[in-house]
Chain A
Amino acid sequence: MKIQQLSLFLENKPGRLAEPCRLLAQAGINIRTLSLADTQQFGILRLIVSDWQKAASLLAGAGYACKVTEVLAVEVPDRPGGLAAILELFATGPINIEYMYAFPFGKQDKAVILFRFDKPDEAIERLQAAGVNVLAGVEIYNGGAQS
Chain B
Amino acid sequence: MTEPCWTAAPLHPASALDYIPVPLLRHLQRERLRAVVRRAYEKVELFRTRMQERGLRPEDIASLEDISRLPFTVKTDLRDTYPFGLFASPIEEVVRLHASSGTTGKPIVVAYTREDVEVWTNAMVRTLASCGIGAGDIVQNAYGYGLFTGGLGAHYGAEAIGATVIPISGGNTDRQIMVMKDFGVTAICCTPSYFVHLIERARELGVDLRDLALRTGVFGAEPWTDSMRRHIESHSRIRAYDIYGLSEITGPGVASECVCQDGLHVFEDHFYPEIVDPATGDPLPEGAEGELVLTTLSKRAMPILRYRTRDITAFIPEPCPCGRTLRRIRRISRRSDDMFIIRGVNVFPSQVEAALLAVEGTLPHYLIVLTREKGLDQMEVQVEVTPEVFSDKIGALEELQARLVRELENVLGIRAQVRLVEPHTIQRSEGKAKRLIDRRNLAD
Contact residues of A: prevailing secondary structure? strand
Are B392 and A116 interface neighbours, CB within 8 A?
A: yes
Q: Which of B386, B391, B422 contacts A11, CB < 8 Å?
A: B422
| A41–B422 CB distance below 8 A | no
Interface of B is mostly: loop
Map CB proximity to B onto A97-108 as digits: 1 under 8 Å, 0 otherwise. Answer: 011000000000
Assess whether B16 is interfacial by the CB under 8 Å rule.
Answer: no
State how many angstroms separate the Cβ of A57 from the closest Cβ of chain B: 7
Report yes or no: A44 in contact with B394, Cβ–Cβ below 8 A.
yes
- Given known pairs A69-B392, A98-B393, the reply for A63 and B420 (CB within 8 Å) is no
Q: Does B27 contact A (CB under 8 A)?
A: no
Q: Does A9 contact B420, Cβ atoms closer than 8 Å?
A: yes
Given A42-B397, A99-B393, the answer on whether A65 and B419 have CB atoms closer than 8 Å is no
Return A24 CB to nearest CB of chain B, in Å.
17
A60 to chain B, nearest CB (A): 5
Q: Can you show 27 pairs from A to B with CB atoms below 8 A apart?
A: A7-B391, A7-B392, A9-B397, A9-B420, A9-B422, A11-B421, A11-B422, A11-B425, A41-B420, A42-B421, A44-B393, A60-B204, A61-B204, A61-B205, A63-B204, A63-B423, A64-B423, A65-B386, A65-B387, A65-B390, A65-B422, A66-B387, A67-B390, A67-B391, A98-B392, A98-B393, A116-B393
Besides A9-B385, A39-B394, 13 other A-B contacts (C-beta < 8 A): A7-B391, A9-B390, A9-B420, A9-B422, A11-B422, A38-B394, A39-B398, A61-B206, A65-B386, A67-B392, A69-B392, A116-B392, A116-B393
Find chain B residues with CB under 8 A from A41 CB: 419-420
Can you list, as one digit per residue, whether each of B186-224 has a CB less than 8 Å from chain A (1) or not (0)? 000000000000000001111000000000000000000
The interface of chain B, by Cβ under 8 A from chain A, is 203-206, 385-387, 390-394, 397-398, 419-425
Cβ–Cβ contact B390 & A7, under 8 A: yes
Chain A interface (Cβ within 8 Å of chain B)? 5, 7, 9-11, 16, 37-39, 41-42, 44, 46, 57, 60-67, 69, 98-99, 116
- Cα–Cα distance between A66 and B390 once the two chains are bound (Å): 8
Q: Which residues of B contact A7 (CB under 8 A)?
A: 390-392
Contacts of A62 in B (CB 8 A): 204
Query: How far is it, in angstroms, between the C-alpha of A10 and the C-alpha of B423 when the chains are bound?
Result: 9
How far is the CB of B441 from the nearest CB of chain A, in Å?
Answer: 26
Across the interface, do B422 and A64 meet the contact criterion of CB distance under 8 Å?
Answer: yes
The 6 closest A-B pairs by CB, nearest first: A7-B392, A65-B390, A63-B424, A9-B385, A65-B385, A69-B392
A10 contact set on B, CB distance < 8 A = 422
Is B420's CB under 8 angstroms from A42's CB?
A: yes
How far does the Cβ of A139 sit from chain B's closest Cβ, in whole Å?
22
Q: Within 8 Å CB of B392, what residues of A?
A: 5, 7, 44, 46, 67, 69, 98, 116
Residues of A contacting B397 in the complex (Cβ-Cβ under 8 angstroms): 9, 42, 44
Chain A, Cβ-Cβ closest to B200: A63
Task: Please give, as numbers and ranges, the residues of chain B lying within 8 Å of A60 by CB-CB distance.
Answer: 203-204, 387
Partner of B387 from the list A16, A67, A98 (CB cut-off 8 Å) is: A67
In the bound complex, CA of A66 to CA of B420 (Å): 15
Please measure, in the bound complex, the distance between the C-alpha atom of A16 and the C-alpha atom of B206, giving whole angstroms: 24
Complex CA gap A78/B213 in Å reads 58
A28 to B165, CA, bound (A): 43
Docked pose: A42 CA to B390 CA in angstroms: 12
Give the distance in Å from the alpha carbon of A143 to the alpha carbon of B421 in the complex.
Answer: 35
Instruction: Determine the chain A residues whose CB is within 8 A of the CB of B425 once the complex forms.
Output: 11
How many angstroms from the CA of A136 to the CA of B385 in the assembled complex? 32
Q: Which of A57, A98, A116 has the largest number of chain B CB atoms within 10 A?
A: A98
Cα of A99 to Cα of B420 in the assembled complex, Å: 22
